[in-house]
Chain A
């Protein structure tokens, strides 16, 4: 006998309604619109799609390759050796990764790089070095050294050991890092919009231009489909790759790092300091240039066009709080369903909730303006901003809470039930308190994501509800040194806010910043 379990319906309903209305439904509207545009075959559409798609693809591939080259020295150093400042170096490398894209774009403008493909590529490298260093070194530092020693005994030189043994063993981590970097750069928006000028546009930037500037929604929808196909292809390739290469050798539990000696010491020092210095340049240039002029006081003055710039910080904090509350509640409910139900329901939930991760933020924001005129037109509502941010952040909340919920043994819940707790009480007394710390970490992620979110916000934020990132972009869009200066000052403010929240996550010592 199958009964409907109303408790589960109540838990599942908010995530289903939220994801359904704000994500699945807009996505179908984009698909319908884009496919009809493609089928009409308007003149020049295909050539345009191809040109933008091709640029997006090759810059993503080149960015990924360059990121690996730039990350190689530091990855080698932190994977092979134990040295003073190793953990600090790892932490500092992560700083660019957590910075909002608008801050990174502004930092490169501050260095005088603009409207150049070089600026875009270097900014992408700057952003993603941490992904490669962290992902690859985690595996590399745990390879059993006896495997390499065995090869040495068999007559392999150190280089041969690296090429024939270490590198092949690192393939799974490298594939993971490569697909993350590829996805980030393929869907890169803020950096390209700010540094590419009018000459270089990725699919993201082109969707934005067509939709927001030129109001050509059908063409933007067609571009969004190309984008979805690209992202889907990358994710498909990676999941196939993962299936084929299951890691089967034994990893050392702890780390087996040596102290560097002789030539290695020099190498480690160069690799570490060189990487850190290079990474320090953009942000320190941003800070020093923001101080060269009275830009900070100007943030508090009324501007005839953009208003009082610093008020965007008030908006941002308000939206961040709202988005965090929304994402945490929906995320924890969704995690409860994923963990509590078995079979199809759980899998379907898990997959659907991860989709916003694979979908670009621009597509999410674009979907809002395409679709949310039904059943009533809410496209002018300021609440769209936190809704969009929550959508982007929910996967992170789910990812940080599901493992904790899974770690609660079934017997623990059963014991509470036998002692008289109804299913709801079990959730309140057992699941909720245990998951609350993990949920706090997820909430902090959501807060950081909301503070820096630009792609979706650029579609849904009205001038009166500008967030810090959209205000920075508006300032950058105006000519003149003082606008650039104010944008730089506001970027520093945003960077400082972001850094403060990220440091508080790190202090909670839960999980690893920048892991997926």
Chain B
């Protein structure tokens, strides 16, 4: 279980996150929904340890993790734009996390991870030869392959065209559920957030305004902005 408590993040003396609190139960998928610039990506980067919080705490199963460096947190983060390693094949990309943890049977695990996203046999391809949708799925497989405790997806479908998105929303959700992972999905798209998550967290101006199921947000919006944004 993840608990973010009163988190403040300051970058170049500008406050990016202010008093953000959020908790995600085991095997729960939470969507952080908000307009661009609201601090969603920074929240994920803070949880991953890529930015240091100025105030507040981040706990995993009750233990504070803010002093643990990124590479030892054991979380997965799928980046907006994927950040695939351009000098590696699909298999080397997907197997990277396993290689870092010194896993024994990397190729078998890679083949399995590729099968979750329907890319069997793509292992030897160069990532630059892939289509946008294929890259998205490689990124997802790379994130999931090391079996991270927590999976974070940053605008996982943001770079794709509309038709592909509708298909991949369902696929991605299915993959996450099949693995029973605990996940946070960041998006600015309401449809996507609703389709991919169990629960929504609405973010605006560096803080979380309201969390809850879609119905709760619709029936009891915290303020006018929430009512308009969610409608």
Chain A residues in the interface with B (C-beta under 8 A): 409, 411-412, 414-423, 425, 429-430, 433-434
Q: Are B86 and A434 in contact (CB under 8 A)?
A: yes
Q: Are B86 and A417 in contact (CB under 8 A)?
A: no
Cβ 8 A contact of A429, one of B72, B84, B96:
B96
Q: Are B85 and A420 in contact (CB under 8 A)?
A: no
Measured between beta carbons, the chain A residues less than 8 angstroms from B146 are 419-420
B116 interface contact, C-beta 8 A: no
User: Quick one: which of A414, A415, A418, A421 has the most chain B CB within 10 A?
Assistant: A418
A438 to chain B, nearest CB (A): 12
B142 interface contact, C-beta 8 A: yes
Q: Are A418 and B77 in contact (CB under 8 A)?
A: yes
Among residues of A, the one whose C-beta sits closest to the C-beta of B50 is A414
Q: Scan B175-212; emit 1 where CB is below 8 A from any A CB, else 0.
A: 00000000000000000000000000000000000000
B10 to chain A, nearest CB (A): 13
A412 to B50, CA, bound (A): 12
B132 interface contact, C-beta 8 A: no
List 6 A-B residue pairs with CB atoms under 8 Å apart, sorted by A's residue number: A409-B81, A414-B45, A416-B100, A418-B48, A425-B71, A429-B96
Cβ 8 A contact of B83, one of A412, A421, A422, A425:
A412
Q: Are A418 and B71 in contact (CB under 8 A)?
A: yes
User: Quick one: which of B45, B76, B79 has the most chain A CB within 10 A?
Assistant: B79
Measured between beta carbons, the chain B residues less than 8 angstroms from A422 are 69, 71
Measured between beta carbons, the chain A residues less than 8 angstroms from B71 are 417-423, 425
> Which residues of B45-61 have CB atoms within 8 Å of chain A's CB atoms?
45, 48-50
Q: Are B81 and A418 in contact (CB under 8 A)?
A: no
Instruction: Say what secondary structure dominates the interface of chain B.
Output: loop
Measured between beta carbons, the chain A residues less than 8 angstroms from B74 are 420
User: Quick one: which of A415, A421, A423, A425 has the most chain B CB within 10 A?
Assistant: A415
Q: Are B79 and A411 in contact (CB under 8 A)?
A: yes
Measured between beta carbons, the chain A residues less than 8 angstroms from B48 are 414, 418
Q: Are A409 and B142 in contact (CB under 8 A)?
A: no
B123 interface contact, C-beta 8 A: no
Task: Report if A421-B100 is in contact (Cβ < 8 Å); known contacts: A414-B50, A433-B87, A434-B87.
Answer: yes
B86 to chain A, nearest CB (A): 7
B78 to chain A, nearest CB (A): 9
Q: Are A417 and B50 in contact (CB under 8 A)?
A: yes
Q: Are A420 and B101 in contact (CB under 8 A)?
A: yes
Q: Are A419 and B79 in contact (CB under 8 A)?
A: no
Measured between beta carbons, the chain A residues less than 8 angstroms from B75 are 418
Task: Report if A409-B83 is in contact (Cβ < 8 Å); known contacts: A415-B77, A418-B50, A418-B76.
Answer: yes
Among residues of A, the one whose C-beta sits closest to the C-beta of B96 is A419
User: Quick one: which of A411, A419, A420, A429 has the most chain B CB within 10 A?
Assistant: A419
Task: Report if A430-B83 is in contact (Cβ < 8 Å); known contacts: A415-B77, A420-B146.
Answer: no
Measured between beta carbons, the chain B residues less than 8 angstroms from A429 are 85, 96
> Which residues of B81-116 have CB atoms within 8 Å of chain A's CB atoms?
81, 83-87, 96-97, 100-101
Q: Are A415 and B100 in contact (CB under 8 A)?
A: no
Q: Are B81 and A419 in contact (CB under 8 A)?
A: no
Among residues of B, the one whose C-beta sits closest to the C-beta of A436 is B87
5 tightest A-B CB contacts, nearest first: A420-B100, A411-B83, A419-B97, A415-B83, A417-B70
Measured between beta carbons, the chain A residues less than 8 angstroms from B49 are 417
Measured between beta carbons, the chain A residues less than 8 angstroms from B87 are 433-434
A421 to B146, CA, bound (A): 12
Measured between beta carbons, the chain A residues less than 8 angstroms from B85 are 412, 415-416, 429-430
Q: Are B81 and A411 in contact (CB under 8 A)?
A: yes
Among residues of B, the one whose C-beta sits closest to the C-beta of A437 is B87
Cβ 8 A contact of A425, one of B77, B81, B100, B142:
B100
Measured between beta carbons, the chain A residues less than 8 angstroms from B50 are 414, 417-418
Measured between beta carbons, the chain A residues less than 8 angstroms from B72 are 420
Measured between beta carbons, the chain A residues less than 8 angstroms from B86 are 412, 434
Among residues of A, the one whose C-beta sits closest to the C-beta of B81 is A411
A418 to B71, CA, bound (A): 5
Measured between beta carbons, the chain A residues less than 8 angstroms from B73 are 418
